[in-house]
Amino acid sequence: MLGCVIYELCMLKCSFPETLPVETVQKELTSSYEALPLTFSEDLRRQVSDTLQADKACRPSVSGILTRPFIINNLRETSKPTITTLYRILEDLRALANDLERVHFNTTVGSLTGAVDVFFVFLDSREIHNLRQDYASRESRRESGSTDQTSNNSDTTNLVPSTTQQAEELKSETMKFVKKIKETTEELQNNLDTIRDETHYSRQ
């Protein structure tokens, strides 16, 4: 079956177009099929010939096919642009993490609160929901206690999130995001290095 699939992908037609199953079986048993034209490489023509051997014991396994030199070389060449692109994305992620970290350490609390909307786009939606829920809870408690202005004035003041509190929460969530980016980039770096080393090794 594998040989038939490879053959049909090359020729863009059925390898054994007979309508009767018995004729198809006879063709397969005698390896009677139209040979690939010379426009295909010798490696590929040999590949098709091997996979269409009448004796199944002589046919290569899938792993045997994938480890053939011309397959490995082609894979290595076609994977180069992808690896290069992934390394570029990796550097972009690192730059993003470094920029956010620099903002975290170099920006004052006052200026951070002025950029709350900008930085909230980087936060995980669940974390944003938790922050908003916490704020709504405090606001609800503040409103429920507003009937007694004399006794609860100092308490309700503490329930309203201050500018400083909002900024600190934002800084904390931003650093969580930075940490996640760095963990992701390290994992991506390891995977890319493994792929690069494997393709380099296979070439040798």
Query: What are all long-range contacts of 177-184, with beta carbons under 8 Å and residues at least 24 apart?
Result: 177/100, 177/122, 177/123, 177/124, 178/97, 178/100, 178/101, 178/104, 181/93, 181/94, 181/96, 181/97, 181/100, 182/94, 182/97, 184/93
Please state, in angstroms and rounded to a whole number, the distance separating the CA atoms of residues 111 and 123: 18
Please state, in angstroms and rounded to a whole number, the distance separating the CA atoms of residues 155 and 145: 9
Say if residue 67's pLDDT is above 90.
no
Distances (CA, A) of 30 to 27, 56, 58: 5, 12, 14
Task: Tell me the pTM.
Answer: 0.42
Cβ count within 10 A of residue 6: 19
Contact partners, residue 91, CB within 8 Å, separation at least 6: none
Structure-model confidence comparison of residues 165 and 39, the more confident one:
39
**pLDDT for the residue numbered 6:** 86
Overall average pLDDT of the 58-67 stretch: 88
Please state, in angstroms and rounded to a whole number, the distance separating the CA atoms of residues 97 and 138: 32
Please state, in angstroms and rounded to a whole number, the distance separating the CA atoms of residues 178 and 123: 10
**pLDDT for the residue numbered 201:** 58
Q: Which residues of 80-105 are buried (b: 16+ CB within 10 A; e: fewer)?
A: eeeeeebeeebeebbeebeebbebbe
Kindly report, residue by residue over 144-199, the tens digit of the pLDDT. Answer: 765 555 454 544 444 445 566 766 777 777 778 778 888 888 888 888 888 777 76
Kindly report, residue by residue over 78-102, the tens digit of the pLDDT. Answer: 878 888 888 888 888 888 888 877 7
**pLDDT for the residue numbered 117:** 46
**Residue spans of beta strands (DSSP E) within 44-96:** none
DSSP 8-state code for residue 61: P
**pLDDT for the residue numbered 135:** 65
DSSP 8-state code for residue 114: T
**pLDDT for the residue numbered 121:** 47
How sure is the predictor about 24, in pLDDT bands with cuts at 50, 70 and 90? Answer: low
Cβ count within 10 A of residue 153: 11
Say if residue 46's pLDDT is above 60.
yes
Q: Are 146 and 152 in contact (CB under 8 A)?
A: yes
Kindly report, residue by residue over 112-142, the tens digit of the pLDDT. Answer: 444 444 444 445 555 555 666 776 777 777 7
**pLDDT for the residue numbered 113:** 46
Give the pair of three-digit tokens for residue 109. Answer: 């609390």
